[in-house]
């Protein structure tokens, strides 16, 4: 029985990992692979995650219409997510800033396949599987294309010269170990994809002065300081009184990402925001609508470079209270408590960072 072999491959992965921050590059690639997996609308079986590629198969062939639709769906999902990463980015690191340069290619082949069992899991095996992977190494002078083997083309009765708004196939052939494998390919013009809409970065304009301001100098660059603040895995190291932080550990923090603090059994939800600042500043903000007593909370971490590997952190908190009684209670009771907690958090952050950086040097 003819089976479909389907391989989406992220181009630029090797250079991306070698020239960018490893942690964030891993998060970005993991996000993109998950996006591609979620874009599987035709019941393809995931055989393997192969670093920067996915290996799908299906024990039957899709019609030409369904195959092209599946290809378009994956390209659309991939480049929609890249656009989101570009527009809602707050991290200045090379991994996050260069992620929009990643590209996608898809190779599809077909044939009779066998299976081998490794540690209880069946995996496709055989000549056709090898050919499908070798087709990833070809002479197409682009990293954004779809390639279909001629064998698959004939089985699904897709014309060699098929053309549409997105696809325009051309013939080519490759020799692999002395065997000629003809195929067709179509470059993908991203302008022809109908990218999914997403919520753009929420830039907040504060019309009043902050209710609380704390400033502290840190002995490290603005980019490193931002990483310590926005990496939620570190939060418990410098924030007191929180029972648990709940967040997506496979996601790079950007505008719109969310996390939750659990304090005494109460779940406090935060969404990432930003606001305008000076051109040399990095600004990370959090917005919450369910802080006790407070109707709304905006807090901003504003980082200004001082040179020589030093940065100034300015913490600004803005509270919205909807009744006179709450305003009075906040002014005379809660404000001092908030100030004490925020100042303590800044001190804890300083000690945690200096300790962490000291360990890294050793």
The answer on 97 and 235 residing in a single domain is no
Cα atoms found within 13 Å of the Cα of residue 5, Cβ hemisphere only: 29
- Residue 201 inside a domain? The answer is no
Total domains, the chain: 2
pLDDT for the residue numbered 199:
59
The answer on 220 and 126 residing in a single domain is no
The answer on 46 and 74 residing in a single domain is yes
pLDDT for the residue numbered 17:
66
Instruction: Return the CATH number at 293.
Output: 3.30.530.20
The pTM of the full predicted model, rounded to 2 decimals, is 0.80
The answer on 27 and 162 residing in a single domain is yes
Residues of the chain where predicted confidence (pLDDT) is lower than 50: none
The answer on 161 and 102 residing in a single domain is yes
Instruction: Return the CATH number at 62.
Output: 3.30.70.1230
The answer on 346 and 228 residing in a single domain is yes
pLDDT for the residue numbered 38:
96
179-187 and 212-218 strand pairing: unpaired
pLDDT for the residue numbered 149:
96
- Residue 204 inside a domain? The answer is no
DSSP class per residue in 51-110:
TTEEEEEESSPPPHHHHHHHHHHHHHHHHHHHHHHHHT----SHHHHHGGG-EEEEEEEE
- 224-245: pLDDT as tens digits: 999 999 999 899 999 988 999 9
pLDDT for the residue numbered 115:
84
Domain range spanning residue 58? Answer: 3-192
Instruction: Tell me which of 192, 227, 250 is where a domain ends.
Output: 192
Strand partners, 28: none
Instruction: Tell me which of 137, 162, 192 is where a domain ends.
Output: 192
């Amino acid at each position: 029985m003819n089976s479909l072999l389907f391989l989406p491959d992220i181009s630029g992965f090797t250079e991306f990992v070698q020239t960018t921050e490893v942690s964030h590059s891993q998060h970005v690639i993991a996000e993109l692979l998950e996006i591609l997996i979620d874009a599987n609308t035709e019941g393809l079986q995931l055989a393997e995650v192969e670093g920067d590629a996915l290996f799908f198969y299906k024990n039957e062939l899709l019609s030409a219409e369904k195959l092209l639709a599946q290809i378009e769906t994956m390209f659309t999902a991939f480049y929609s997510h890249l656009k989101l990463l570009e527009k809602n980015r707050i991290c200045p690191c090379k991994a996050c800033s260069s992620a929009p340069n990643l590209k996608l290619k898809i190779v599809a082949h077909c044939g009779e396949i066998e299976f081998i069992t490794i540690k209880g899991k069946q995996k496709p095996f055989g000549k056709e599987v090898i050919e499908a992977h070798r087709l990833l190494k070809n002479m197409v002078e682009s990293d954004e294309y779809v390639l279909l083997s001629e064998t698959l083309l004939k089985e699904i009765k897709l014309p060699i010269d098929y053309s549409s708004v997105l696809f325009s196939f051309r013939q080519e052939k490759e020799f692999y170990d002395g065997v000629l494998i003809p195929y067709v390919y179509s470059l993908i013009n991203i302008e022809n994809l109908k990218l999914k809409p997403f919520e753009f970065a929420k830039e907040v304009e504060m019309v009043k002065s902050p209710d609380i301001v704390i400033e502290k100098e840190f002995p490290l660059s603005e980019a490193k300081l931002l990483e310590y603040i926005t990496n939620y895995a570190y939060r418990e190291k410098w924030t007191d009184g929180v029972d648990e932080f709940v967040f997506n550990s496979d996601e790079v923090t950007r505008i719109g990402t969310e996390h939750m603090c659990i304090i005494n059994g109460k779940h406090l939800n935060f969404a990432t925001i930003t606001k305008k600042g000076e051109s040399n500043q990095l600004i990370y903000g959090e917005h919450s609508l369910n802080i006790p007593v407070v109707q709304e909370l905006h807090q901003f971490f504003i980082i200004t470079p001082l040179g020589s590997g030093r940065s100034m952190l300015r913490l600004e908190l803005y509270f919205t209270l909807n009744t006179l009684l709450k305003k009075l209670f906040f002014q005379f009771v809660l404000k001092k408590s908030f100030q004490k907690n925020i100042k303590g958090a800044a001190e804890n952050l300083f000690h945690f960072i200096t300790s962490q950086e000291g360990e890294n040097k050793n």
